[in-house]
Amino acid sequence: MTYEIVVLTNMAIAVLFALSLNVITGFCGQVSLGHAAFLGIGAYTSAMLSKAGVPIVITFIPAMGMAALIGLIVGVASLRVRHDFLAITTMGVVFLFTGIVRKQELLGGEIGIAGIPAPDFGRIGLLMTSLLCVLAYLLFTIWIRRSWTGFAFDSISEDEDTATLLGINVPKFKLFAFIVGTAGAGLAGALYAHQVRFIGPDSFGFVESISVLAMVIVGGIGSIWGVILSAAFLSALPQFFQVIDDYKLLVYGLLLFGAMRFAPDGIDGLLRKVSRWRAVK
């Protein structure tokens, strides 16, 4: 039973993490290759505070706040660059994050932070908390999507120059996406820290950033349900592959390639194709 709970909690955290990137990349069209840095900022903030005796659920707030604050700073910096320049700048952010953490004694340096307190509400409690967080964040992003903010995002993600000519204050909307997205990642990080109870710089690197981007893209950029499905599936994938543990990354890499090569619109595109096909029949 514990095993299933752990797997489910991991899935919930991955879904939250992917939904948060979906706001930045999916809704607003800003590619980020460094989103794991914000997972890390949330995880470290929450871990340090809860080790200092702050109740776990309370640490979620500063974890989100810290991630969003740094997200805002990165967002402001990102306003100056576009497209591939933006992609590589955000990639730089994740390398800077791990590079700085590695050299900080206070943050445990290379070794990381161990002995993060177990949640006093138990494993099931943590699963429930994670699910609640996912649900709350999900509802919030659905709300965004359907509001005028989402409407404006649609235009920005397609062509920001045109969006500007329609009277949209593009920088403000982008920063909003960065804040909401990085805060979500911070929350996922806080949950993650208490799920694994040991964190180090290697848990929040470039590969993790790519994995979450893959979840968003495999889900179909911008599609909330596709992203949830793909995040749940891709995060559970390593569990299915226990048997072939040695080939886990090989399969994962080929899967990424295959998904892009053969279904570049992601799960969302596949679902649409299937429903269209049904409609025709």
Partner 1 sequence: MLFVDLCIQGVIQGAIYALIALGLTLVYGLLRILHVAHAALFTLGGYVGVLVTNGSGSFLLALMTAMLVVGVVGMSSYTIIYKPLLNRTPLIALIASIGIFIASEELFRIFFGAYGLSYVSPPLQVQIEILPGISLSQARILVVILAVGLLSGVGWLAINTRMGIAARATVVDPQIAASSGVNVEIIRYGSFFIGSAFAGAAGVMVSLLNNLVEPTMGAVPSYKALAIIVLGGLGSVRGALIASLALGIIESFGTIYVGHLLDRDSIAFAFLIMVLMVRPQGLLVRG
Partner 2 sequence: MTTKRLQIKNVSVKFGGLSALQDVSFEIDDNQLLGFIGPNGAGKTTLMRVIMGMITPLSGSVFLDGKNITGLKSVQRIHAGVALGQQIVKPLRQMSLLDNVALASGGAKLLSPLRALMVRERSEEREVAQELLIQVGLGDHAQKLPNELPLGFLKRLEVARALALNPLLLLLDEPLAGLSKPEAEQMADLIASLPRKGLSVIMIEHNLPQVQRVCPTLYVQSNGRALAFGATNKVIAEPEVRRAYLGVDA
Chosen from partner 1, partner 2, none, partner binding at 120 (C-beta under 5 to 8 Å by type): none
The span of 13-21, 51-59, 211-219, 229-237 binding partner 1 (CB under 8 A) equals 211-219
Number of residues this chain uses to bind partner 1 (CB under 8 A): 42
Q: Which two tokens stand for residue 107?
A: 């943050």
Choose among 222, 210, 211, 232: nearest CA to 265. Answer: 222
User: Does 136 interact with partner 2 (rule: CB under 8 A)?
Assistant: no
Please name the amino acid found at residue 129: T
Choose among 1, 24, 32, 39: nearest CA to 235. Answer: 39
Closer residue to partner 1 in complex, CB, 174/194: 174
Which residues in 126-155 contact partner 1 (CB under 8 A)? none
User: Does 66 interact with partner 2 (rule: CB under 8 A)?
Assistant: no
User: Does 206 interact with partner 1 (rule: CB under 8 A)?
Assistant: yes
Closer residue to partner 2 in complex, CB, 169/239: 169
224 CA to centre of own chain: 13
The span of 80-88, 183-191, 230-238, 271-279 binding partner 1 (CB under 8 A) equals 80-88
Chosen from partner 2, partner 1, none, partner binding at 154 (C-beta under 5 to 8 Å by type): partner 2
The span of 51-59, 84-92, 154-162, 227-235 binding partner 2 (CB under 8 A) equals 154-162
Reported residue count of the chain is 281
Which residues in 94-123 contact partner 2 (CB under 8 A)? none
Place of tokens 């990349």: 25
Please name the amino acid found at residue 217: I
Distances from the Cα of 94 to the Cα of 88, 183, 209, angstroms: 10, 16, 8
Closer residue to partner 1 in complex, CB, 261/278: 261
Number of residues this chain uses to bind partner 2 (CB under 8 A): 24
Which residues in 240-269 contact partner 1 (CB under 8 A)? 246-247, 249-250, 252-261, 264
* Binder among 31, 228, 234, 267 for partner 1 (CB under 8 A): 31
Burial (Cβ within 10 Å: 0-12, 13-18, ≥19) of residue 134 = buried
Annotate 14-60 with three-state secondary structure: HHHHHHHHHHHHHHCCCCCCCCHHHHHHHHHHHHHHHHCCCCHHHHH
Chosen from partner 1, partner 2, none, partner binding at 135 (C-beta under 5 to 8 Å by type): none
Helices marked H in the chain — which ranges? 2-21, 36-51, 56-78, 83-102, 122-146, 148-158, 160-165, 170-196, 206-219, 224-240, 248-262, 266-280
Place of tokens 């500007």: 164
User: Does 166 interact with partner 1 (rule: CB under 8 A)?
Assistant: no
User: Does 28 interact with partner 1 (rule: CB under 8 A)?
Assistant: no
User: Does 151 interact with partner 2 (rule: CB under 8 A)?
Assistant: yes
Chosen from partner 2, partner 1, none, partner binding at 48 (C-beta under 5 to 8 Å by type): none
- Could you tell me the smallest distance in angstroms from the CB atom of residue 213 to partner 1? 7
3-state SS assignment for residue 114: coil
Residues that bind partner 1 in the complex, under the rule CB under 8 A: 31, 77, 80-82, 84-85, 87-89, 91-93, 95-96, 98-100, 102-103, 206-207, 210, 213-214, 217, 221, 246-247, 249-250, 252-261, 264
